[in-house]
Amino acid sequence: MYSEKVMEHFTTPRNVGEIKDADGIGEVGNAKCGDIMKIYLKIENDIIKDVKFKTFGCGAAIATSSIATELIKGKTVEEALKLTNKAVVEALDGLPPQKIHCSVLAEEAVKAAIEDYKKKHNK
């Protein structure tokens, strides 16, 4: 059901963990629906220097979190804000229809983290 790429990111997810002194943290989803994504950003000069995630959720939730962190790492904040769920899906070589919502969550988690950063840093 999952592409190889999804399984690869699920089995060896990149950037799992927390950033203690994160510049921005975004958490979306809720436990009731079975998925929560939390993204930590370390930002220097508007560039995402480091990103970590923690996810409670299904295989697709973990894989989309992982790929999303990869896609924004090293990018500028403005570039990262342009991340779409479609780009997440494409980067994973597709997702089953009932799992598309995970890619939406990943997009939202990134945006929430950046918003948090902007708010904290008055941008």
Partner 1 sequence: MNKRIYLDHSATTYTKPEVLEEMLPVFNEYFGNPSSIYSYGREAKRLVDKARDRVAKALNALPEEIFFTAGGSEADNWALRGVAYANKERGNHIITSKIEHHAILHTCQQLEKEGFKVTYLPVDKYGMVSLEDLKNSITDETILISIMYANNEIGTIQPIDEIGKIAKESKIYFHTDAVQAVGNIKIDVKEQNIDLLSLSAHKFYGPKGVGALYIKKGTRITNLITGGGQERGRRAGTENVPGIVGLGKAIELATENIDSYNEKLLKLRTKLINGIMERIPYTLVNGHPEKRLPGNANFCFKYIEGESLLLNLDMKGIAASSGSACTSGSLDPSHVLLAIGLPHEIAHGSLRLTLGEENTEEDIDYVLEVLPEIVQRLRDMSPLYEKVKGGNQ
User: Distance from CA of residue 113 to its chain's centroid?
Assistant: 9
- Minimum Å distance from CB 122 to partner 1? 26
Question: Which residues are known catalytic residues?
Answer: 33, 102
- Minimum Å distance from CB 38 to partner 1? 4
Q: Which residues lie near partner 1 (CB under 8 A)?
A: 1, 7, 10-11, 13, 16, 18, 27, 31-38, 54-62, 96-99
Structure tokens at 65: 């979190």
74: number of Cβ within 10 Å? 13
Q: Taking the CA of residue 31 as centre, how many other CA atoms within 13 Å lie in the half-sphere pointing to its CB?
A: 0
